[in-house]
Protein backbone atom coordinates (compact mmCIF):
# COMPACT_ATOMS: atom_id res chain seq x y z
CA UNK A 1 0.00 0.00 0.00
CA UNK A 2 1.11 3.57 -0.59
CA UNK A 3 -0.25 7.04 0.13
CA UNK A 4 -0.80 9.38 -2.80
CA UNK A 5 -0.38 13.08 -2.19
CA UNK A 6 -3.33 14.68 -4.00
CA UNK A 7 -3.44 18.20 -5.40
CA UNK A 8 -5.25 19.64 -2.34
CA UNK A 9 -4.18 17.88 0.83
CA UNK A 10 -2.54 20.59 2.93
CA UNK A 11 0.33 18.43 4.20
CA UNK A 12 -1.95 15.69 5.56
CA UNK A 13 -0.67 13.03 3.11
CA UNK A 14 2.94 13.29 4.29
CA UNK A 15 1.83 13.31 7.94
CA UNK A 16 -0.28 10.19 7.45
CA UNK A 17 2.47 8.36 5.56
CA UNK A 18 4.85 8.99 8.48
CA UNK A 19 2.27 8.03 11.08
CA UNK A 20 1.36 4.69 9.53
CA UNK A 21 4.75 3.99 7.97
CA UNK A 22 3.48 3.85 4.40
CA UNK A 23 5.37 5.11 1.38
CA UNK A 24 4.37 8.57 0.06
CA UNK A 25 3.86 8.87 -3.69
CA UNK A 26 3.91 12.29 -5.30
CA UNK A 27 2.03 12.67 -8.55
CA UNK A 28 3.16 14.45 -11.72
CA UNK A 29 0.78 17.36 -11.94
CA UNK A 30 0.40 20.38 -14.17
CA UNK A 31 -2.29 22.66 -15.48
CA UNK A 32 -2.40 23.11 -19.25
CA UNK A 33 -2.66 26.66 -20.59
CA UNK A 34 -6.41 26.20 -21.17
CA UNK A 35 -6.94 25.29 -17.51
CA UNK A 36 -7.23 21.50 -17.82
CA UNK A 37 -5.41 19.36 -15.25
CA UNK A 38 -2.81 16.75 -16.15
CA UNK A 39 -2.30 13.92 -13.65
CA UNK A 40 0.13 11.02 -13.73
CA UNK A 41 0.96 8.56 -10.96
CA UNK A 42 4.58 7.55 -11.68
CA UNK A 43 4.35 4.05 -10.18
CA UNK A 44 3.69 0.42 -10.90
CA UNK A 45 1.11 -1.01 -8.61
CA UNK A 46 -1.24 -3.64 -7.36
CA UNK A 47 -3.34 -4.06 -4.25
CA UNK A 48 -4.35 -0.95 -2.34
CA UNK A 49 -3.63 2.77 -2.47
CA UNK A 50 -4.85 5.67 -0.37
CA UNK A 51 -5.23 9.08 -1.97
CA UNK A 52 -5.56 12.22 0.14
CA UNK A 53 -7.56 15.01 -1.48
CA UNK A 54 -9.73 17.73 0.05
CA UNK A 55 -12.44 19.27 -2.12
CA UNK A 56 -12.58 22.88 -0.96
CA UNK A 57 -12.59 25.82 -3.39
CA UNK A 58 -12.29 25.39 -6.38
CA UNK A 59 -14.50 22.44 -5.49
CA UNK A 60 -15.09 21.04 -8.98
CA UNK A 61 -11.41 21.24 -9.91
CA UNK A 62 -10.36 19.38 -6.76
CA UNK A 63 -13.12 16.84 -7.22
CA UNK A 64 -12.18 16.16 -10.86
CA UNK A 65 -8.53 15.85 -9.90
CA UNK A 66 -9.51 13.21 -7.33
CA UNK A 67 -11.33 11.36 -10.12
CA UNK A 68 -8.26 11.61 -12.39
CA UNK A 69 -5.93 10.33 -9.65
CA UNK A 70 -8.27 7.37 -9.06
CA UNK A 71 -8.32 6.71 -12.79
CA UNK A 72 -4.51 6.83 -12.96
CA UNK A 73 -4.33 4.40 -10.02
CA UNK A 74 -6.67 1.96 -11.71
CA UNK A 75 -4.62 2.37 -14.88
CA UNK A 76 -1.46 1.14 -13.16
CA UNK A 77 -3.25 -1.85 -11.65
CA UNK A 78 -4.37 -0.72 -8.19
CA UNK A 79 -7.40 -2.78 -7.19
CA UNK A 80 -8.62 -1.05 -4.03
CA UNK A 81 -8.67 2.72 -3.66
CA UNK A 82 -9.42 4.57 -0.45
CA UNK A 83 -9.92 8.33 -0.68
CA UNK A 84 -9.18 10.37 2.41
CA UNK A 85 -11.26 13.50 1.81
CA UNK A 86 -10.63 15.75 4.83
CA UNK A 87 -13.22 18.26 3.61
CA UNK A 88 -15.92 16.87 1.36
CA UNK A 89 -17.82 19.66 -0.36
CA UNK A 90 -21.47 19.84 -1.44
CA UNK A 91 -22.74 17.92 1.60
CA UNK A 92 -24.95 20.83 2.65
CA UNK A 93 -26.93 20.29 -0.57
CA UNK A 94 -28.31 17.10 0.92
CA UNK A 95 -31.95 17.54 -0.05
CA UNK A 96 -34.16 18.94 -2.74
CA UNK A 97 -35.06 21.92 -0.57
CA UNK A 98 -37.04 23.54 -3.36
CA UNK A 99 -38.79 22.19 -6.44
CA UNK A 100 -36.23 21.52 -9.17
CA UNK A 101 -33.19 21.67 -6.87
CA UNK A 102 -30.24 19.43 -7.74
CA UNK A 103 -29.38 16.87 -5.07
CA UNK A 104 -25.72 17.79 -5.37
CA UNK A 105 -24.46 15.76 -2.41
CA UNK A 106 -25.74 12.58 -4.01
CA UNK A 107 -24.23 13.48 -7.41
CA UNK A 108 -20.82 14.15 -5.88
CA UNK A 109 -20.80 10.87 -3.95
CA UNK A 110 -21.85 8.95 -7.07
CA UNK A 111 -19.02 10.54 -9.07
CA UNK A 112 -16.52 9.48 -6.40
CA UNK A 113 -17.83 5.90 -6.35
CA UNK A 114 -17.92 5.67 -10.15
CA UNK A 115 -14.26 6.74 -10.21
CA UNK A 116 -13.46 3.36 -8.68
CA UNK A 117 -13.07 4.56 -5.10
CA UNK A 118 -14.42 1.90 -2.77
CA UNK A 119 -13.86 3.58 0.58
CA UNK A 120 -13.95 7.19 1.74
CA UNK A 121 -12.62 8.65 4.97
CA UNK A 122 -14.27 11.99 5.72
CA UNK A 123 -13.74 14.40 8.59
CA UNK A 124 -16.97 15.58 10.24
CA UNK A 125 -19.38 15.75 7.32
CA UNK A 126 -22.15 18.33 7.57
CA UNK A 127 -24.65 15.57 8.39
CA UNK A 128 -23.88 11.91 8.86
CA UNK A 129 -26.83 10.47 6.96
CA UNK A 130 -25.87 12.26 3.74
CA UNK A 131 -22.99 9.78 3.35
CA UNK A 132 -25.50 6.99 2.74
CA UNK A 133 -25.54 8.25 -0.86
CA UNK A 134 -22.08 6.68 -1.17
CA UNK A 135 -22.44 3.04 -2.18
CA UNK A 136 -19.17 1.89 -0.62
CA UNK A 137 -17.43 1.89 2.74
CA UNK A 138 -17.44 5.07 4.76
CA UNK A 139 -15.34 6.08 7.77
CA UNK A 140 -16.20 9.28 9.59
CA UNK A 141 -13.48 10.98 11.59
CA UNK A 142 -14.77 12.89 14.62
CA UNK A 143 -12.12 15.26 15.90
CA UNK A 144 -14.18 17.29 18.38
CA UNK A 145 -12.87 15.74 21.61
CA UNK A 146 -9.23 15.82 20.48
CA UNK A 147 -9.65 19.48 19.44
CA UNK A 148 -11.17 20.40 22.81
CA UNK A 149 -8.31 18.66 24.62
CA UNK A 150 -5.77 20.67 22.56
CA UNK A 151 -7.51 24.02 23.00
CA UNK A 152 -7.85 23.37 26.74
CA UNK A 153 -4.14 24.09 27.12
CA UNK A 154 -4.61 27.72 26.08
CA UNK A 155 -8.27 28.61 26.50
CA UNK A 156 -10.89 27.37 28.95
CA UNK A 157 -14.44 28.31 27.93
CA UNK A 158 -17.17 28.51 30.53
CA UNK A 159 -19.99 27.91 28.04
CA UNK A 160 -19.94 26.13 24.68
CA UNK A 161 -22.47 27.52 22.23
CA UNK A 162 -23.71 25.68 19.16
CA UNK A 163 -25.23 28.17 16.70
CA UNK A 164 -27.83 25.63 15.59
CA UNK A 165 -29.60 22.51 16.72
CA UNK A 166 -27.62 20.29 14.33
CA UNK A 167 -24.43 21.03 16.25
CA UNK A 168 -25.65 20.13 19.74
CA UNK A 169 -23.79 16.82 19.87
CA UNK A 170 -20.47 18.50 19.00
CA UNK A 171 -21.12 21.13 21.70
CA UNK A 172 -21.98 18.44 24.25
CA UNK A 173 -18.87 16.36 23.53
CA UNK A 174 -16.55 19.35 23.68
CA UNK A 175 -18.17 20.62 26.88
CA UNK A 176 -17.36 17.31 28.54
CA UNK A 177 -13.67 17.82 27.84
CA UNK A 178 -13.79 21.43 29.03
CA UNK A 179 -16.00 20.42 31.96
CA UNK A 180 -18.35 23.31 31.28
CA UNK A 181 -21.95 23.94 30.25
CA UNK A 182 -23.26 23.98 26.70
CA UNK A 183 -26.27 25.45 25.00
CA UNK A 184 -27.53 26.10 21.50
CA UNK A 185 -29.42 28.58 19.34
CA UNK A 186 -32.20 28.09 16.87
CA UNK A 187 -31.04 29.24 13.46
CA UNK A 188 -33.03 29.83 10.32
CA UNK A 189 -31.53 30.85 7.01
CA UNK A 190 -33.42 32.56 4.22
CA UNK A 191 -32.72 30.30 1.25
CA UNK A 192 -32.84 33.19 -1.27
CA UNK A 193 -30.85 35.90 0.49
CA UNK A 194 -28.74 33.64 2.75
CA UNK A 195 -29.61 35.94 5.68
CA UNK A 196 -29.55 34.28 9.08
CA UNK A 197 -31.78 34.80 12.06
CA UNK A 198 -31.20 33.19 15.42
CA UNK A 199 -32.99 32.95 18.71
CA UNK A 200 -31.89 31.66 22.06
CA UNK A 201 -33.35 28.51 23.55
CA UNK A 202 -32.58 26.60 26.69
CA UNK A 203 -30.74 27.60 29.80
CA UNK A 204 -27.84 29.98 29.52
CA UNK A 205 -26.28 32.96 31.20
CA UNK A 206 -23.46 34.52 29.23
CA UNK A 207 -22.81 37.47 31.55
CA UNK A 208 -19.13 37.78 32.37
CA UNK A 209 -18.45 34.37 30.80
CA UNK A 210 -15.87 33.02 28.35
CA UNK A 211 -17.90 31.63 25.45
CA UNK A 212 -16.75 29.30 22.70
CA UNK A 213 -18.96 28.99 19.62
CA UNK A 214 -18.49 25.62 17.89
CA UNK A 215 -19.67 24.64 14.41
CA UNK A 216 -18.81 22.22 11.61
CA UNK A 217 -17.71 24.94 9.20
CA UNK A 218 -17.33 28.64 8.64
CA UNK A 219 -18.27 29.67 5.13
CA UNK A 220 -19.52 33.27 4.82
CA UNK A 221 -19.08 33.71 8.57
CA UNK A 222 -22.68 34.88 9.07
CA UNK A 223 -23.53 32.08 11.48
CA UNK A 224 -20.56 32.73 13.77
CA UNK A 225 -21.09 36.51 13.57
CA UNK A 226 -24.75 36.26 14.58
CA UNK A 227 -23.96 33.80 17.38
CA UNK A 228 -21.12 36.04 18.61
CA UNK A 229 -23.42 39.07 18.65
CA UNK A 230 -25.94 37.06 20.63
CA UNK A 231 -23.34 36.03 23.20
CA UNK A 232 -21.88 39.56 23.46
CA UNK A 233 -25.31 41.14 23.86
CA UNK A 234 -25.90 38.61 26.61
CA UNK A 235 -22.85 40.00 28.42
CA UNK A 236 -20.13 37.51 27.39
CA UNK A 237 -16.68 38.58 28.49
CA UNK A 238 -14.67 36.79 25.76
CA UNK A 239 -15.99 35.08 22.64
CA UNK A 240 -13.89 32.66 20.60
CA UNK A 241 -14.96 30.36 17.76
CA UNK A 242 -14.05 26.89 16.59
CA UNK A 243 -15.04 25.27 13.30
CA UNK A 244 -13.69 22.04 11.88
CA UNK A 245 -13.64 23.29 8.28
CA UNK A 246 -12.38 26.83 7.71
CA UNK A 247 -13.79 27.70 4.29
CA UNK A 248 -13.72 31.40 5.18
CA UNK A 249 -15.30 32.74 1.99
CA UNK A 250 -16.05 36.44 1.34
CA UNK A 251 -13.51 37.88 3.76
CA UNK A 252 -15.15 35.95 6.59
CA UNK A 253 -12.06 35.99 8.83
CA UNK A 254 -11.97 39.81 8.92
CA UNK A 255 -15.73 40.10 9.42
CA UNK A 256 -15.71 37.61 12.31
CA UNK A 257 -12.83 39.40 14.01
CA UNK A 258 -14.64 42.73 13.54
CA UNK A 259 -17.67 41.16 15.22
CA UNK A 260 -15.55 40.80 18.37
CA UNK A 261 -14.46 37.16 18.15
CA UNK A 262 -11.01 37.18 19.69
CA UNK A 263 -9.68 33.88 18.30
CA UNK A 264 -10.74 31.46 15.57
CA UNK A 265 -9.67 27.84 15.98
CA UNK A 266 -9.97 25.24 13.26
CA UNK A 267 -8.28 22.29 11.59
CA UNK A 268 -6.07 21.71 8.57
CA UNK A 269 -8.76 20.04 6.43
CA UNK A 270 -8.53 23.27 4.40
CA UNK A 271 -5.51 25.62 4.21
CA UNK A 272 -5.93 28.69 6.41
CA UNK A 273 -3.23 31.24 7.13
CA UNK A 274 -4.85 33.38 9.80
CA UNK A 275 -6.56 31.02 12.22
CA UNK A 276 -5.27 28.89 15.04
CA UNK A 277 -5.05 25.59 13.17
CA UNK A 278 -4.84 22.12 14.75
CA UNK A 279 -3.51 19.15 12.76
CA UNK A 280 -5.97 16.25 12.50
CA UNK A 281 -3.70 13.82 10.58
CA UNK A 282 -3.37 11.39 13.52
CA UNK A 283 -7.16 11.00 13.81
CA UNK A 284 -7.33 10.21 10.09
CA UNK A 285 -4.37 7.82 10.25
CA UNK A 286 -6.14 5.89 13.01
CA UNK A 287 -8.92 5.07 10.52
CA UNK A 288 -6.65 3.63 7.81
C1 LIG B 1 -24.99 24.99 8.63
O2 LIG B 1 -25.92 24.29 9.00
C3 LIG B 1 -23.59 24.73 9.03
O4 LIG B 1 -23.53 23.95 10.17
C5 LIG B 1 -22.82 26.01 9.26
O6 LIG B 1 -23.39 26.69 10.38
C7 LIG B 1 -22.90 26.92 8.08
O8 LIG B 1 -22.64 26.22 6.89
C9 LIG B 1 -21.93 28.07 8.21
O10 LIG B 1 -22.07 28.89 7.09
P11 LIG B 1 -21.84 30.45 7.17
O12 LIG B 1 -20.47 30.67 7.70
O13 LIG B 1 -21.98 30.88 5.73
O14 LIG B 1 -22.91 31.03 8.02
Per-residue model confidence (pLDDT) at position 133: 97
16 located within any domain: yes
Residue ending a domain, choose from 141, 169, 204: 141
Pocket residue to mutate for ligand 1, from 219, 229, 244, most atoms within 8 A of Cβ: 219
**Rounded (5°) CA angle 159-163-168:** 70
Residue 288 within a domain? no
- 225 Cβ below 6 A of ligand 1: no
Q: Do the domain assignments include residue 287?
A: no
Residues 204 and 86 in one domain: no
Quote the pLDDT of residue 229: 96
120/86 Cα distance (integer angstroms): 10
Nearest-10 crossing angle of helices 144-151, 168-178 = 40
* Residue-range definition of the domain harbouring residue 209: 144-279
CATH of the domain at 70: 3.40.50.2020
Axis crossing angle, helix 59-75 with helix 104-114, rounded to the nearest 10: 20
Residue 45, pLDDT score: 84
- pLDDT reported for residue 208: 97
Task: State the pLDDT at residue 263.
Answer: 97
Please give the Cα distance from 12 to 24 (Å, whole number).
11
Region label for 77, one of left (φ > 0), alpha (ψ between -120 and 50) or beta (otherwise): left
The confidence score (pLDDT) of residue 198 equals 87
How far is residue 161's CA from residue 239's CA, in Å, rounded to a whole number?
10
171/155 Cα distance (integer angstroms)? 16
Residues 69 and 193 reside in one and the same domain: no
Out of 97, 123, 141, a domain closes at 141
User: For 75, which DSSP code?
Assistant: H
pLDDT, residue 204, reads 82
pLDDT number for residue 200: 85
Give domain status of residue 285, yes or no.
Answer: no
Q: Active site residue: 173, 187, 209, 210, which one?
A: 187
223 close to ligand 1 (CB < 6 Angstrom)? yes
Do both 60 and 109 map to the same domain? yes
- Residues 173, 255, single domain; the answer is yes
Residues 133 and 178 reside in one and the same domain: no
In the predicted model, residues of the chain with pLDDT beneath 50 are none
Amino acid sequence: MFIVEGTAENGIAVNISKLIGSRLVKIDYKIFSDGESYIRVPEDGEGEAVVVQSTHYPQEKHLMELVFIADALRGIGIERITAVIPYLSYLRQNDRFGKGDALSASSVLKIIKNAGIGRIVVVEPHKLDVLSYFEGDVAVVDVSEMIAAKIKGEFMPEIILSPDEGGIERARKMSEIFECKYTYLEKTRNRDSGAISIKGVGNYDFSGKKVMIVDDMISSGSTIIEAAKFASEGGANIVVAYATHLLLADNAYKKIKEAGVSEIYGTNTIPSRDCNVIDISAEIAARL
